[in-house]
């Protein structure tokens, strides 16, 4: 899937924030959750996601996703990564709901 088709599909699927990110190598951030769903397409490099089990390395042309509130970690391998990423919020941006309403627990 090319970048334009992927961005179009994200928007059709309700992902309201879509951006291109060029990421430098970095270690994991530690297990955490987001108050939004994430879906990304790796353009170049390697993006690693650990959800329940072993880490999964995503390379060029591969799509990764993390559900809203899902405990995970991610890191960038030595070559860095270029990804197109979308965020989908269950509540409209700017609403006055607390993070607990999104199923996020720290």
Q: Give 36-68 pLDDT, tens digit per residue.
A: 999 999 999 999 999 988 999 999 999 999 999
Question: For residue 93, what pLDDT is reported?
Answer: 53
Question: For residue 103, what pLDDT is reported?
Answer: 39
Could you tell me which of 71, 72, 64 has the C-alpha nearest to residue 38?
A: 64
Q: What is the pTM of this model?
A: 0.83
Task: Compute CA distances 104 → 2, 57, 101, whole Å.
Answer: 32, 25, 7
Question: For residue 1, what pLDDT is reported?
Answer: 82
> Is there a contact between 49 and 57 (Cβ–Cβ < 8 Å)?
no
Assigned fold of 3-91: Jelly Rolls (2.60.120)
Q: Give 4-46 pLDDT, tens digit per residue.
A: 999 999 999 999 999 999 999 999 999 999 999 999 999 999 9
Read off the tokens for 44: 């170049």
Please report where in the chains the tokens 């951030």 appear, as a residue: 29
Q: H/E element holding 100?
A: none
Alpha-carbon distance 78 to 11, whole Å? 31
Q: Where are the domains of the chain?
A: 3-91
């Amino acid at each position: 899937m090319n970048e334009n088709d992927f961005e179009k599909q994200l928007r059709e699927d309700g992902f309201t924030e879509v951006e291109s990110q060029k990421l430098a190598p970095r270690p994991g951030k530690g297990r955490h959750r987001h108050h939004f769903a994430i879906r990304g397409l790796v353009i170049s490099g390697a993006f690693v996601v650990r959800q329940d089990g072993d880490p999964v390395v995503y390379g060029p042309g591969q799509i990764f996703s993390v559900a809203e509130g899902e405990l995970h970690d991610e890191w960038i391998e030595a070559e860095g990564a270029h990804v197109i990423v979308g965020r989908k919020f269950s509540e409209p941006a700017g609403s006055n709901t607390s993070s607990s309403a999104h199923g996020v627990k720290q």
